[in-house]
Structure 1
């Protein structure tokens, strides 16, 4: 989820914690729990600072080790070490429990996005991405804001947020139902589909679709159960040629391949260089595929320039590469 949603989730969890008799009866515990739930709902995303280095490192590591099982166990202890000295009369066990809940919920809700997390590390580095909730869902955010406002104007926080979480559970179940109907509609068009990837958007009934069978990729959208296929591409395995093998050694392309589950590739040869491009098929927008990895190599297969990330025009991509215009 986005940062704003994680913040309101932390506030909501701090309000829910007032149903805990130990929290409700001790002001130091209540205050420290609210601080800890807000901080705990944010701390797994500390790896966002990696974007300051470069996109390859960010893509390869964001929602990786910081969202892993060891991290979920470690983050609450780190937060306790920082927060508890300021509230020495707080109940340490209950403070830890609610802090752990905040960290766990952060990682848990992230798996419902199309981006997903590596939440099962160290057992597997596979990305867990259920694709039922957009990174920013205005309904989820709005429900949280409404509950916080109700609390501010005087309602009991515990029961207010308990009711809110019950509503959210229903909403998540509704999203799974909507996703299942979309998948069912896609299979009517592509009955031999081996995989169907759904990417939700901020619009409740609008989904991006990337599907495949043994021979083709299909890219389209769903408006409810109305499916439109925009593009079809032949599935061409990536051959083990010297050019492509050299390109795969580039950190930008390696990061792309570690993250993207469905893509096509292109190889262009020019008078003085090669250009290898890998294109993620999940995020088609206005006829454009914005998430790419591009590697330029000279004729001796030495890297010249490369880029991976989101880019919404060919002109901007050339500026990112900044070495060779085609």
Structure 2
């Protein structure tokens, strides 16, 4: 989820915590718990500071190790311990319980969008991305705003937010059902024996979905509007060659980071006089006939890596700015 929704969930959880009489009747403890749920609801995304280093490091670790089981446990104990130091007379177990729950909820809700998390690490490095809730979902965010309004006019926050989360559970089921209907249509069209993967990505608009399909011989990029699926691009599924050039490309940090994350991509190569440019293009995030999530590497004829980049680029000019090769 986006940062705003994560924080909104932290505030809501702090309100639900007032179901505990010791919290409800103790303003200092309530304040400490609220801080814990707000910080805990955002803590796994502290890895955004990795962007300051480079995109490759960020891509490898964002929603990776920072959303893993060991780090989820760590965040709960670390944040609640700091709060206990700040408010030493508060019951530690109460601080830890609600803070840890906020961290768990953060990781849990992240698995429902197309980006996903490696929430099962260290037992599995598989990305869990269910792909039926948008990173920013207006329904979920507005539901929290309504809850804050009802809380503000005097209704009990526990009753308010438990009711809202009950309704949102039904909303999640509805979105999951919409995803399954789209998948069923694609399986019927291409044949269950041909389809090797279907990747769904809901948009901010309820009726529009982005789709990517992998079959034995092709990649298909599609768009669904009101349940009607339109294929917008088809690409031949060409395996990466097993040669020294590709082996060199895979050693590049940006390419390696991209390949560790992307579940469906195509590649292309352009030869120039003194170097070759290899592009890896993720097919899940098509936007206005453009595929913005890429990894690009330029390799000299002597198999030296000249330059590379991975990340989100929305124009060719900006991409080339990232890949300028200075003349000797």
TM-score by length of 2: 0.96
The separation in 2 between residues aligned to 1:29 and 1:172, in whole angstroms, is: 33
Partner of 2:122: 122
Aligned twin of 1:314: 316
Aligned to 1:252: 254
Partner of 2:305: 303
- Provide the secondary structure at the position in 2 that maps to 1:41: helix
2: CA distance, partners of 1:96 / 1:287: 47
Q: Which residue matches 1:196?
A: 198
Q: Which runs of 5+ in 2 are unaligned?
A: none
Distance in 2 between the 1:55 and 1:309 partners? 6
Q: Does 1:177 align with 2:196?
A: no
Task: Tell me the CA shift for residue 156 of structure 1.
Answer: 1.1
Contact conserved, 2:182 with 2:227, CA < 8 A, in 1? yes
Shift of residue 189, structure 1, vs aligned partner: 2.4
| 1:216 maps to 2:235 | no
Pairing partner for 1:267 from 257, 266, 269: 269
* Correspondent of 1:207 among 200, 206, 209: 209
Structure 2 contact 83–95 (Cα < 8 Å) conserved: no
Distance 2:141 2:261 in 1: 27
Gaps of 5+ in 1: none
Deviations 1:228-285 (Å, cap 9, x if unpaired)? Answer: 0011111111111111111111000000000000001112211111111100010111
Superposition deviation, residue 166 in structure 1 = 0.8
Q: Distance in 2 between matches of 1:177 and 1:50?
A: 36
Q: Please state whether the residue corresponding to 2:195 is helix, strand or coil.
A: coil
Distance of 2:89 and 2:25 partners within structure 1 = 12
Q: SS state of the match for residue 134, structure 2?
A: coil
- Alignment match, 1:292: 294
Report the Cα offset of residue 21 of structure 1. 2.8
1:11 matched to 2:11? The reply is yes
1:41–1:106 contact (8 Å) kept in structure 2: yes
After superposition, residues 1-326 of structure 1 pair within 5 angstroms as: 1-191=1-191, 192-323=194-325
Distance 1:38 1:240 in 2: 49
Alignment partners' CA distance in 1, 2:140 and 2:325: 44
3-state secondary structure, aligned to 1:322: coil
Aligned equivalents of 1:290, 1:324: Cα separation in 2: 25
How far did 1:60 drift? 0.6
- Pairwise CA distance, 1:324: 7.2
The Cα offsets for residues 77-112 of structure 1, whole Å up to 9 and x where unpaired, read as: 111221112222322212111111000000000011
For residues 89 and 153 of structure 1, what CA distance do their matches in structure 2 show? 31
Q: In 1, are the aligned partners of 2:81 and 2:92 still within 8 Å (CA)?
A: no
TM-score (norm 1): 0.97
